[in-house]
Structure 1
């Protein structure tokens, strides 16, 4: 990847619905070479898809909770089973395998404290293999980036 590829990616992260002509102009190419580069970035799996960013507050999900999970066993089978179980929960926006004292970090969004309590009691606490959990409520997002930094 070169600097132009990085500019293409940054432009599409800002506006994934950009027309090729506008994208080409923004990155300093003509339309045909820009379209070829875009196709290559997609076929190589650098660009994996397009989606809409939504405001969770406006969807009635203003509460973000980070849940640290310690598993009873860190063997591949236990981690895989946890990942499959957690993937079925709509409240879980992200699930990360971590280093350190906690094995898993979840980002959960819910409508209110009662909804989080229901999530814990009816879903998360029923997943086998959990030794311990700790929850931290986000007060507000201070920095949120979805765009790559400038190319090196």
Structure 2
């Protein structure tokens, strides 16, 4: 019987008989939201916040030539509709002892509920993100680990113990390109599109 080991250690049924393998996927992924209406000022505010999320509303107002209360209202609307989701920190994991990035293409056992498999993988602290992909793999998992020994322990003792996982490959990331500000660059492109 296909199943997924939950946090309780018990095997959960992979799916109801006759249910499609991707049938439970909607429960494990974030839905694609509807596009929101925004203008060049909204995008300019997002650009400035992406550069430094700690800027005051007064500083932002000066940068976009608006009053601080008007900027506050725009930011509140961007938060409310979900465009601006969080103010966060960027951690240099290598400096904290987790320098190794590993990509793990995953193939599930035929008939497995992919959503349940994703939920099992999400329970692992080392999993940075999981993407459902097309092609010969079902998922692409990005892991963050300390070293080769840590990777081996996770694979042998945790990931490969998931009953609905058929096979994986292990792709070690040897280096990452310096991409300091994907968000700022894409917002800049969007701002240009709106102002031209």
Is this a same-fold pair by TM over 0.5?
Answer: yes
Bigger CA radius of gyration? 2
Relative to 1, partners in 2 of residues 1:74 and 1:16: Cα closer, same or farther, differing over 3 Å?
farther
TM-score, length-scaled by structure 2: 0.72
Q: Which runs of 5+ in 2 are unaligned?
A: 1-37
Aligned to 2:174: 139
Aligned to 1:17: 54
Number of residue equivalences: 150
Alpha-carbon RMSD: 1.5
1:109 aligned to 134, 138, 144, which one? 144
Alignment of 1:22-101 (within 5 A): 22-73=59-110, 78-101=113-136
1:130 aligned to 141, 156, 165, which one? 165
TM-score, length-scaled by structure 1: 0.91
Partner Cα distance (2:64, 2:167) in 1: 49
Shift of 1:143: 4.2
Shift of 1:133: 0.5
1:121 aligned to 129, 152, 156, which one? 156
Q: Which runs of 5+ in 1 are unaligned?
A: none
